[in-house]
């Protein structure tokens, strides 16, 4: 999830764990704990693009990381706040829950997280977009109300608990909506007599009203969307896999790595004699175009006898156009 959401979650967890004893300092250190796992996003400053993508939501988003570093951070805080008289164990407990709830939340997004690192297992339930105002804003309002209430008061505890409960109930609703919309896509494919290998669904940006689906065929993918306000049948756009375009790279380890990152959901496109690897899991800016541009796309180039993978920068204009179209599409087809 986005940084603000993780800060709010960490702060609320901090208040729940230690708010009665230290008040807003629990919120402060909980918020800090909620941001620490995302420090892995700075990996791109020190390594190549492919390795940075592999590192993201890896070790720092694991239970192992939380167990190892919570006592260290707890000890540091106990030294900084030694006048309060709270033991390092209490601070460690706060930091553990602040750290571990971060990847637990991220596991619900499309990217997912390696919660059980070092096992090569990425949890990605794909039931909420990485930024969802309906999850974050009510949570933030209740947290602010809690912060403004007296330390240790029932009102403060009530507001904080309400924030945790409301956000959790909304998360459960997104899981239910995912199940409902999955059946809509599945039934639509059956009605259209489309035989497929796999079907994956995900929420569209910033909401859980409209959902998108990736459907794998033998030689292509189908992409479709569905709003709960739709009245017409679901239409699918066909995008060829074009995997044959990278046959010359079959012996390249970097190709295997980027395929593993995409979990096998990818197409290859060719523009201006250059090859691009497109990760289908996050959709396209213009999926109806003859040659769609994808949210996550990587340039494949051979340099010094090795395959180099570089992420293609995203154009802000593409994102603006998607948001404009999304506003109309959510209301139904």
Q: 91 and 205 share a domain?
A: no
Q: Which domain holds residue 241?
A: 192-333
Place of tokens 């489309």: 194
Strand partners, 226: 211
Residue 327, in any domain of the structure: yes
From first to last of the 333 residues of the chain, give the pLDDT tens digit: 999 999 999 999 999 999 999 999 999 999 999 999 999 998 888 888 889 988 989 999 999 999 999 999 999 999 999 989 899 999 999 999 999 999 999 999 999 999 999 998 899 999 999 999 999 999 999 999 999 999 999 999 999 999 999 999 999 999 999 999 999 999 999 999 999 999 999 999 999 999 999 999 999 999 999 999 999 999 999 999 999 999 989 889 999 999 999 999 999 999 999 999 999 999 888 777 777 889 999 999 988 888 999 999 988 887 787 788 888 889 888
Counted domains in the chain: 2
Q: 118 and 212 share a domain?
A: no
Instruction: Locate 305 and state its tokens.
Output: 């006898």
Helix axis angle, 88-106 to 63-80, nearest 10°: 140
E strands, 228-290, where? 236-240, 266-271, 274-284
Q: 99 and 142 share a domain?
A: yes
Using the 3D structure, point to which of 113, 137, 171 is the last residue of a domain.
171
| Nearest by Cα to 6 from 39, 45, 46 | 39
How far apart CA 127 and CA 137 sit, in angstroms, is: 18
Using the 3D structure, point to which of 111, 142, 171 is the last residue of a domain.
171
Number of other CB atoms surrounding residue 226 within 10 Å: 24
- Say if CB 255 and CB 275 are below 8 A apart: no
Q: 153 and 17 share a domain?
A: yes
Residue 229, in any domain of the structure: yes
How far apart CA 332 and CA 48 sit, in angstroms, is: 42
How far apart CA 177 and CA 159 sit, in angstroms, is: 27
Helix axis angle, 3-22 to 88-106, nearest 10°: 150
| pTM, two decimal places | 0.93
DSSP letter (8 states) at residue 238? E
Number of other CB atoms surrounding residue 73 within 10 Å: 21
Number of other CB atoms surrounding residue 247 within 10 Å: 8
How far apart CA 32 and CA 10 sit, in angstroms, is: 7
Residue 180, in any domain of the structure: no
Residue 91, in any domain of the structure: yes
């Amino acid at each position: 999830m986005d940084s603000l959401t993780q800060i709010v979650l960490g702060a609320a967890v901090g208040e729940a764990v230690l708010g009665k004893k230290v008040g807003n300092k629990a919120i402060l250190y909980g918020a800090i704990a909620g941001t620490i796992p995302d420090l892995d996003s700075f990996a791109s400053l020190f390594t190549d693009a492919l390795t940075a993508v592999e590192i993201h939501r890896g070790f720092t988003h694991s239970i192992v990381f939380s167990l190892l570093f919570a006592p260290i951070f707890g000890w540091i805080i106990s030294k900084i706040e030694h006048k309060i008289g709270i033991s390092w164990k209490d601070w460690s407990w706060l930091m553990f829950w602040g750290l571990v709830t971060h990847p637990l939340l991220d596991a619900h997004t499309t990217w997912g997280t390696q919660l059980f690192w070092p096992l090569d297992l990425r949890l990605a339930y794909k039931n909420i977009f990485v930024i969802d105002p309906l999850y974050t804003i009510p949570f933030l309002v209740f947290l602010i109300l809690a912060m403004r209430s007296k330390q240790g008061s029932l009102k403060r505890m009530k507001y904080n608990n309400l924030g945790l409960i409301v956000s959790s109930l909304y998360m459960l609703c997104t899981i239910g909506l995912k199940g409902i919309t999955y059946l809509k896509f599945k039934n639509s494919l059956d009605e259209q007599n489309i035989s497929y290998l796999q079907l994956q669904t995900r929420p569209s940006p910033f909401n859980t009203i409209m959902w998108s689906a990736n459907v794998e065929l033998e030689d292509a993918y189908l992409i479709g969307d569905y709003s709960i306000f739709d009245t017409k049948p679901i239409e699918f756009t066909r995008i060829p896999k074009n995997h044959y375009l990278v046959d010359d790279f079959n012996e390249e380890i970097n190709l295997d790595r980027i395929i593993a990152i995409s979990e096998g959901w990818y197409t290859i496109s060719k523009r201006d004699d250059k090859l691009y690897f497109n990760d289908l899991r996050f959709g396209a800016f213009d999926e109806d175009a003859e040659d769609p541009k994808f949210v996550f796309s990587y340039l494949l180039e051979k340099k010094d006898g090795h395959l180099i993978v570089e992420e293609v920068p995203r154009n802000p204009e593409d994102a603006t156009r998607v948001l404009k179209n999304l506003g109309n599409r959510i209301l139904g087809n």
